[in-house]
Amino acid sequence: MSGAARILITGGTGFFGKSLLAARKREAVSEGELVILSRDPEGFLCRFPAFAGLPGVSFAAGDVRDFPFPDGEFSAVLHAATPASARLEAENPAEMRSIIVDGTKRVLDFCRSRKVPRLLLTSSGAVYGPQEPECERMAETYPCRPVTAYGQGKLEAERLCLDSGVETVIARCFAFVGPYLPLGIHFAAGNFLRDALENRPIAIRGDGRPLRSYLYADDLVRWLRRLLEAGEPGRIYNVGSENAVSIAELAERCAALRTPPSAVTVLGHPDGLPAPRYLPDTARARRELGLAETVNLDEALRLTFEFHRNNGYCMKNQQGEKS
C-alpha cells in the first residue's frame, strides 16, 4: 500500500478499516489513494471526525452486495466487509451468508470489470470449525469444517475467489485487540475492557479455561499490507497471534489496568473436558513474508484501554459499525 497505488477497501469503516485509516493518519501518508466503501460514509465521518479530510482518502457509498463501481483504475482491492455479529448469526444467518457471499461475488465482478490485478480477501479462522483438543495450533492445512453461517460463508467466499481467475491472496484472520475494537458486542477482550473502563466487576459466564490469542491492531495493519503487496497468489495465510491466553487470565489482565484492579468473577464450572482453543499457526506468514508479532498482549491491552480513557470513552460508539 505504497507509491501510486489506488486501492478499494470494502468494510473500510469497520475495525480493520479504521485501523488502516488510523495508521495512515499517524504515518502522515499522502501518496497513493484509498477508496473506502461504506453504507453510510457521512454517518461514519460524523462519529469519527478524525478520519475526515485525510490526504488521498475518499469514500464511496454503497452496500457491498450491489455497490456502484467507482470510476478509474485500481491497483488492488482489500475486501474486508464482514458482518462479525453474533446477533445476526443467531437471528438471520441467511443475511449473514448473503453479505459475505454475495458481497464477494460483487467484489469479484468489480475486479474483472476494472481489470484489478490483485485482491486480498480477509477470511476467518472460523472456516476451520472447532479446534480438536490434540491440535495445539491450526495451520492453513487444517481441515475446514465450519459450523456457523459466518464460517461457512467465509469458506464459500474463499472458494469463489480462488476459482475466479482474479489474483487473490487470502488472510484467515483470528482475534485482535486495538483502539477501534467494539467494546459492546460479543468480543471477550472488548467486554472486559469495557467493564474495566466503567470500573465494574468483570464477570466470566463460562469457566474461564478457553484459550485465545490476540494480535494488536498495528501488527494487523502491517500483516495486511504485507499480504497485499507480497503474498503469493492463490495462497492462504493465517493472521493472528500464537501466544495463548485463557479467558480468565485475559480478564485478570484487563482488570489490572485499573488502580485498584476491577474484581473478576468466574461464574461457570469446569466440565471435565479439555479446554476449547482457537489458536492459529502463523509459521507460513512468518517464514514466507517475514511477519512477526511486535506488540505483546499486555501492551496491546494497555494501549487500547488508554485510547478509550483518553478519548472520552462512551458506549454509543461501541456497538459496532455499519461497513
pLDDT digits (tens, 9 = 90+) for 243-256: 999 999 999 999 99
Mean pLDDT of all residues in 90-105:
95
What DSSP line would sit under 203-214, residue for residue? EESS-S--EE--
CATH code, 64: 3.40.50.720
Is the omega angle on the peptide bond into residue 260 within 30 degrees of 0, that is, cis?
Answer: yes
Is 36 a domain residue?
yes
Half-sphere exposure for 117 (CA within 13 Å, toward CB):
7
Instruction: Read off the pLDDT band of 272 (50, 70, 90).
Output: confident
- How confident is the model at residue 313, as a pLDDT? 64
Is 323 a domain residue?
no
Q: What is the number of domains present in the chain?
A: 1
- How confident is the model at residue 82, as a pLDDT? 86
Enclosing domain of residue 268: 6-317
Is 181 a domain residue?
yes
Long-range contacts of 98-101 (CB under 8 A, 24+ apart): 98/65, 99/64, 99/65, 99/153, 100/150, 100/153, 100/154, 100/156, 100/157, 101/153, 101/156, 101/157, 101/160
Mean pLDDT of all residues in 213-222:
99
Asked whether residue 319 carries a pLDDT value surpassing 70, the answer given is no
Q: What is the CA radius of gyration of the chain?
A: 19
Is 241 a domain residue?
yes
Is 59 a domain residue?
yes
Higher pLDDT, 186 or 71: 71
- How confident is the model at residue 316, as a pLDDT? 43
Asked whether residue 318 carries a pLDDT value surpassing 70, the answer given is no
Contacts of 298 (CB under 8 A, 6+ apart): 253
Instruction: Read off the pLDDT band of 1 (50, 70, 90).
Output: low
Strand pairing partners for 264?
202
- How confident is the model at residue 311, as a pLDDT? 87
- At residue 305, the 3 state secondary structure works out as helix
Instruction: Read off the pLDDT band of 2 (50, 70, 90).
Output: low
Instruction: Read off the pLDDT band of 298 (50, 70, 90).
Output: very high
Is 322 a domain residue?
no
- How confident is the model at residue 51, as a pLDDT? 96
Is 1 a domain residue?
no
Among residues of the chain, what percentage have pLDDT more than 90?
88
- How confident is the model at residue 314, as a pLDDT? 52
Mean pLDDT of all residues in 258-282:
94
- How confident is the model at residue 320, as a pLDDT? 46
- At residue 272, the 3 state secondary structure works out as coil
Tens-digit pLDDT profile for residues 63-85: 999 999 999 999 999 999 988 78
What DSSP line would sit under 273-287, residue for residue? SPPPB--B--HHHHH
Asked whether residue 315 carries a pLDDT value surpassing 80, the answer given is no
Tens-digit pLDDT profile for residues 149-159: 999 999 999 99
Mean pLDDT of all residues in 3-25:
94
